[in-house]
């Protein structure tokens, strides 16, 4: 492909026209802002964290300038004064110490028990100036590395006149780095983010430059050193001030506002409630260079940072580069450049207070400087409160300050002696559903030895049991809640472990939902888990550890680094996957039901303790309810603090009974049933045949890189071995058609999508109930997701390829079937044995109703819906399904629509994973090949002929400008430029292709060029490069040069089967600048076609990012002009 091809691909995007942010799927997410994998990742919120896309044992005596006696002095001059925050502190490396012969082995015993082994490849140390570093060699992917510089200061460290300055300084320090700019065009990615407890800068780079093969670690560290020595230039300050103010508008969604309300209540007793990273607008507008530089020089010191490097590097060489680059920086020199004396003195006072009893000084230097109202087992509270020392300084911001938000004072209500609830209600007109967020805060328990590791595994078993009860057993014919999750996670950003219940429900059923969810928690806390649950989830933990160990050094740099940072922050021992597997097997082999039930009791103690006469946790239970604003305070949907506290307390007085074990099948398809199927429908393989010139494939041979065949019943199969994820596999069942077929075949509008969701909500097969099938999937670690979009019905499975559902451990283990066999059994039953249930349809319809109503209260959702309606002439296949349409769908409608697509001749199965291809093909032949060829033929529509998927609607001409006003309490604005584009493979709505357009414009194309452009991935590569180039141009023009926005983004829908597609440019800005930002985006796209076309450098830089091995040449031929539909959407400020 030549440069001209990229230009022509851009032309094709705009000259023919329509849009969508994604392929629309309006099924609500099954996760919310507090969801994370149990016990493995921090509970965090990307909405609160300000992330900017730019793209012998050691004892540290002081974090603020004091070094060891043997270390060289960095003062250098008597004129360099001590840093204002010079204080002793906890070693930020926690359990990671510099390499030495005395590093403990895996079997060293401690006073409490066997110590956990430390990852043997980790190298850590401290420079004489106090800078700490950690290096982890990792070779996935090979030839790359990541360097993350963590500054132990975030928004929680800000003084009253500095609210938001940590985030602004992050912008100025990294965006203003000229050495960072040297990484551009090398295939590197840079980024930075600010949170309560830290600011992090990172660079992900190739180990060597693409040209010249020069090592890139020195270049990456130069950029991070530049951050430590930021110049704070006036022009950069103004650019980043504008970007931050735009970002402030962008993030202020209703979800962000809910998150702020939750965190303000959860942390009312400490600084986090008043120190959100985004800061205060009035302060951001007022700061000068000296303000920013004062913050920077106070906190960006070598003894207040930790450098992580993970990747395909030699640790010894990396240590030399670290010393060379960072060794020259000193805390004293930083202190000498602080420009505002009064802030310098106040920083010293805050440093005194930080050392007087915060979790930062008492538990981990990675934590924010806060205290917590703990909710812990009786007798432990006094011990924890003893950590704190009385001080005069108001470090926890309990007094009132001029810039505080004007909110009602939060009170804690004692509902019974020793039983406290802290309630808060947030009401807003943009909220659609009721949600409850129930919290208890506990200290993080460092996992450093076998006993603490066993306790952590016991908690994970108990949490898994409760979550499955809530998800499986808690769903009835008419469930009280629409989403529920219970978890406890260690959170370094908050400096505590947060036990949380997050639940959503229809507003008029909030009391019922609270009672149901709290009853399930109390059952676990009082009666514990059943023997069957213990066996099930302990086995799942073992399988998970085995798969991680098998992954070995193929775990990505990013995943390794995230785990390393969180582990070090919380004081846990960082183990290798193999060490973790060994210790998991050792711990689980002797873990008892009593230990798990003790963990369950502790996890639920803040809820079980609310029952009269019971001994529960000491400390407050925190309850935040969010509900739609309603003028009627007498209706069932109305909730205030008093009624919320009363409902929670009364729910905890209800008597509960223990759950009983459910009989879970070890196999869904018995040998007898399978034998009958083999006799009735003998399976066979047929070769693959193609109409696009691809050679036919044999029925009896494996081919590379994948094998394509057809079963005798008509189902097409593609299979490939891929060991990238050890012991894991992925399978996708596709029925082309989707909502396109829904309309083409005359089914009731919405029936295909609602039916697909009903399948997800159901799951009864053959003799097995939904609950049994779901627990079968849990036992065999199967993840299933069913979706219907504009062009297909897809069912995705993720599964283990090893034996799962095992019983016992070690020599006494009884192996179950493999995950591969289990998933193929589920696929068979979905096609040939699925039971349709009214209650599943009801849950599906409720999901779609809630999604549509929420969309109409979302600025981004409603505006993109309006664009799609205009561009498709209100074609309902591309729009959300409204409430009336959802209500009209019957079970028969949903069943007929979906099952009409599940005829074997219409199905494709693609499977890839870490398995033996021949073995998997044998199982596919046995389970899928025995499905009758006429299965589901009774649902086939008589008129069904020809392709079910056509083209996107023609774009109305001429283009239009649309405006939308949406009621909101806060002003926000978003603008769009949208138009037609090719689909993922380069096909346009009129049937022509990107290849056709390029060849028509390039009259001098050689035979080689023509052959190359015929490659199936040619257009896909070209469109990816165009997207990257367009995004870079938008950033440099709209953000950098014109300072109108924080972010402008170019995206493509990427339809796979529909001919044609849409592009969308999204730009957020203040309401006053929305039209200017919109015009700037339009000008940028137009310039790409005319005055400032794509250059060879643009193209090479984009190619390095995607690592495409495609060749281009420069051509000046540009014949098509942009003709885009423009849409501007705004909030109205009341």
Q: What are the residues whose beta carbons fall under 8 Å from the beta carbon of 42, sequence distance 6 or more?
A: 36, 489, 490, 491, 492, 493, 566
Q: What are phi and psi of 1032, to 5 degrees?
A: -65, -40
Report the half-sphere exposure of 1093 (CA within 13 A, side-chain side): 21
Residue 508 near residue 433 (C-beta atoms within 8 A): no
Long-range contacts of 992-1000 (CB under 8 A, 24+ apart): 993/1019, 994/5, 994/8, 994/9, 994/12, 994/1018, 994/1019, 994/1022, 994/1023, 995/1019, 997/8, 997/11, 997/12, 997/1120, 998/1, 998/2, 998/4, 998/5, 998/8, 998/9
Q: What are the residues whose beta carbons fall under 8 Å from the beta carbon of 615, sequence distance 6 or more?
A: 378, 609
Assigned token pair, 1090: 């005319």
Closest to 220 (Cα-Cα) out of 152, 169, 146: 146
Radius of gyration of the chain (CA): 30
**C-alpha–C-alpha distance, residues 660 and 530, integer Å:** 7
Assigned token pair, 610: 């609310």
Assigned token pair, 334: 């930083």
Beta-ladder partners of 1051: 1064
**C-alpha–C-alpha distance, residues 1029 and 108, integer Å:** 55
Give the angle subtended at the CA of 1108 by the CAs of 1104 and 1113, to the nearest 5°. 85
**C-alpha–C-alpha distance, residues 239 and 1045, integer Å:** 10
**Is the dihedral angle over the CA atoms 149, 154, 157, 162 positive or is it negative?**
positive
Q: What are the residues whose beta carbons fall under 8 Å from the beta carbon of 884, sequence distance 6 or more?
A: none
> 217-228 and 165-175 helices cross at what angle (nearest 10)?
140
**C-alpha–C-alpha distance, residues 263 and 89, integer Å:** 27
**C-alpha–C-alpha distance, residues 559 and 502, integer Å:** 26
**C-alpha–C-alpha distance, residues 780 and 387, integer Å:** 46
Assigned token pair, 1133: 């400020």
Assigned token pair, 57: 């044992």
**C-alpha–C-alpha distance, residues 454 and 603, integer Å:** 15
Q: What are phi and psi of 783, to 5 degrees?
A: -110, 130
Going from the C-alpha of 748 to that of each of 340, 881, 889, the distances in angstroms are 69, 12, 7
DSSP state, 697? B
**C-alpha–C-alpha distance, residues 882 and 1063, integer Å:** 24
**C-alpha–C-alpha distance, residues 757 and 773, integer Å:** 17
Which residues are designated catalytic?
170, 240
Which pairing describes strands 973-981 and 1125-1133: parallel, antiparallel, or unpaired?
A: antiparallel
- 705 preceded by a cis bond (ω within 30 of 0): yes
> 593-603 and 510-527 helices cross at what angle (nearest 10)?
140
Beta-ladder partners of 286: none
**C-alpha–C-alpha distance, residues 580 and 598, integer Å:** 23
State the CB neighbour count (10 A cutoff) for residue 945: 7
**Is the dihedral angle over the CA atoms 986, 988, 991, 996 positive or is it negative?**
negative
**C-alpha–C-alpha distance, residues 1034 and 1051, integer Å:** 12
Q: Hey, is 717 helix, strand or coil?
A: strand
């Amino acid at each position: 492909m030549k440069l001209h091809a990229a230009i022509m691909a851009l032309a094709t995007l705009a000259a023919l026209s329509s849009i969508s942010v994604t392929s629309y799927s309006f099924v609500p997410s099954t996760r919310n802002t507090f969801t994370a994998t149990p016990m493995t990742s921090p509970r965090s919120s990307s909405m609160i964290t300000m992330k900017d896309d730019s793209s012998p044992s050691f004892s540290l005596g002081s974090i603020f300038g004091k070094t060891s006696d043997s270390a060289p002095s960095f003062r250098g001059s008597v004129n360099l004064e001590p840093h204002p925050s010079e204080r002793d502190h906890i070693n930020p490396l926690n359990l990671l110490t510099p390499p030495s012969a005395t590093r403990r082995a895996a079997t060293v015993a401690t006073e409490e028990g066997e110590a956990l082994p430390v990852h043997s490849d980790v190298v850590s140390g401290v420079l004489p100036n106090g800078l700490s570093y950690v290096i982890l060699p990792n070779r996935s992917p090979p030839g790359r590395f990541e360097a993350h510089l963590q500054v132990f200061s975030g928004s929680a460290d800000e003084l009253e006149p500095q609210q938001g300055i940590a985030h602004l300084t992050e912008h100025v320090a990294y965006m203003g780095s000229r050495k960072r700019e040297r990484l551009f065009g090398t295939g590197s990615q840079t980024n930075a983010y600010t949170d309560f407890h830290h600011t992090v800068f990172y660079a992900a780079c190739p180990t060597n430059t693409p040209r010249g093969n020069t090592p890139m670690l020195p270049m990456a560290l130069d950029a991070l050193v530049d951050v430590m020595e930021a110049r704070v230039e006036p022009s950069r300050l103004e650019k980043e001030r504008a970007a931050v103010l735009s970002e402030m508008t962008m993030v202020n969604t209703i979800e962000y506002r809910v998150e702020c309300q939750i965190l303000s209540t959860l942390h009312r007793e400490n600084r986090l409630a008043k120190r959100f990273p985004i800061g205060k607008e009035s302060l951001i507008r007022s700061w000068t260079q000296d303000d920013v530089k004062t913050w920077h020089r106070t906190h960006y010191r070598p003894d207040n940072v930790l450098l992580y490097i993970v990747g395909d590097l030699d640790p010894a060489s990396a240590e030399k580069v670290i010393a060379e680059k960072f060794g020259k920086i000193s805390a004293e020199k930083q202190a000498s450049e602080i420009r505002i004396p009064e802030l310098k003195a106040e920083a010293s006072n805050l440093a005194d207070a930080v050392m007087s009893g915060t979790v930062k000084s008492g538990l981990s230097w990675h934590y924010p400087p806060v205290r917590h109202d703990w909710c812990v087992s009786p007798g432990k509270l006094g011990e924890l409160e003893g950590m704190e020392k009385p001080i005069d300084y108001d470090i926890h911001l309990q007094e009132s300050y001029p810039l505080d938000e004007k909110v009602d004072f939060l009170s804690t209500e004692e509902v019974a002696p020793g039983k406290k609830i802290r309630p808060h209600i947030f009401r807003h007109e943009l909220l659609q559903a009721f949600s409850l967020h129930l919290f208890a805060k506990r200290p993080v328990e460092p996992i450093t030895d076998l006993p603490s590791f066993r306790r952590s595994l016991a908690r994970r078993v108990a949490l898994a049991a409760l979550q499955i009860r809530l998800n499986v057993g808690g769903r009835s014919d008419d469930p009280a809640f629409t989403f529920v999750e219970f978890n406890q996670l260690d959170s370094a950003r908050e400096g505590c472990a947060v036990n949380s219940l997050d639940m959503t429900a229809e507003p008029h059923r909030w009391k019922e939902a609270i009672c149901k969810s709290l009853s399930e928690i109390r059952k676990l806390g009082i009666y514990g888990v059943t023997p069957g649950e213990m066996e099930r989830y302990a086995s799942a933990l073992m399988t998970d550890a085995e798969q991680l160990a098998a992954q070995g050094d193929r775990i990505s740099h990013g995943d390794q680094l995230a785990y390393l940072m969180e582990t070090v922050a919380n004081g846990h021992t960082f183990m290798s996957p193999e060490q973790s597997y060994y210790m998991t097997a050792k711990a689980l082999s002797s873990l008892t039901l009593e230990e798990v039930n003790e963990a369950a009791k502790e996890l639920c103690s803040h809820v079980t303790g609310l029952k009269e006469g019971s001994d529960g946790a000491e400390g407050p239970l925190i309850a935040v309810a969010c509900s739609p604003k309603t003028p009627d305070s007498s209706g069932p949907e109305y909730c205030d603090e008093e009624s919320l506290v009363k409902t929670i307390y009364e729910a905890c007085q209800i008597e509960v009974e223990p759950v009983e074990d459910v009989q879970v099948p070890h196999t869904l398809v018995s040998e007898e049933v399978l034998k009958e199927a083999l006799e009735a429908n003998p399976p066979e393989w047929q070769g693959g045949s193609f109409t696009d010139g691809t050679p036919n494939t044999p029925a009896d041979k494996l081919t590379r890189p994948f094998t394509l065949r057809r079963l005798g019943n008509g189902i097409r199969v593609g299979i490939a071995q891929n060991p990238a994820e050890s012991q894991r596999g992925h399978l996708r069942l596709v029925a082309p058609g989707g909502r396109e077929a829904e309309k083409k075949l005359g089914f009731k509008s919405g029936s295909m999508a609602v039916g697909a969701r009903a399948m997800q909500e159901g799951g009864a097969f053959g003799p097995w109930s939904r609950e049994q099938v779901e627990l079968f999937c849990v036992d065999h670690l199967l993840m299933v997701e069913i979706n219907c979009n504009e062009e297909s019905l897809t069912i995705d499975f993720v599964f283990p390829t090893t034996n799962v559902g095992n019983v016992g451990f070690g020599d006494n283990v009884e192996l179950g079937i493999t995950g591969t066999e289990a998933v193929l059994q589920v696929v068979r039953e979905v096609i040939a044995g699925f039971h349709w249930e009214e209650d599943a349809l009801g849950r599906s319809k409720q999901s779609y109703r809630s999604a549509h109503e929420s969309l109409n209260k979302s600025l981004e959702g409603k505006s993109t819906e309006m664009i799609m309606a205009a561009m498709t002439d209100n074609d309902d296949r591309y729009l959300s399904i409204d409430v009336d349409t959802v209500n009209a769908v019957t079970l028969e409608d949903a069943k007929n629509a979906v099952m009409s697509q599940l005829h074997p001749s219409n199905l494709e199965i693609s499977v890839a994973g870490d398995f033996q291809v021949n073995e998997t093909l044998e199982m596919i032949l046995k389970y899928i090949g025995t499905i009758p060829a006429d299965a589901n033929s009774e649902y086939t529509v008589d008129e069904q002929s020809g392709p079910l998927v056509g083209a996107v609607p023609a774009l109305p001409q001429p283009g239009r400008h649309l405006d939308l006003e949406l009621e909101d309490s806060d002003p926000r604005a978003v603008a769009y430029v949208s138009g037609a584009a090719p689909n993922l493979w380069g096909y346009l709505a009129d049937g022509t292709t990107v290849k056709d357009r390029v060849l028509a414009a390039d009259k001098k194309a050689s035979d080689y060029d023509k052959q190359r452009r015929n490659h199936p991935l040619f257009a896909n590569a070209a469109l990816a490069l165009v997207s990257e180039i367009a995004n870079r141009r938008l950033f440099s023009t709209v953000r950098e040069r014109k300072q109108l926005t924080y972010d402008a983004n170019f995206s493509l829908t990427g339809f796979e089967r529909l001919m044609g597609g849409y592009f969308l440019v999204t730009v957020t800005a203040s309401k006053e600048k929305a039209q200017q930002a919109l015009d700037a985006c339009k000008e940028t796209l137009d310039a790409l076609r005319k005055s400032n076309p794509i250059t060879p450098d643009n193209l090479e830089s984009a190619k390095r990012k995607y690592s495409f091995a495609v060749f281009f040449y420069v051509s000046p031929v540009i014949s098509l002009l942009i003709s885009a539909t423009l849409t501007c959407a705004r909030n109205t400020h009341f």
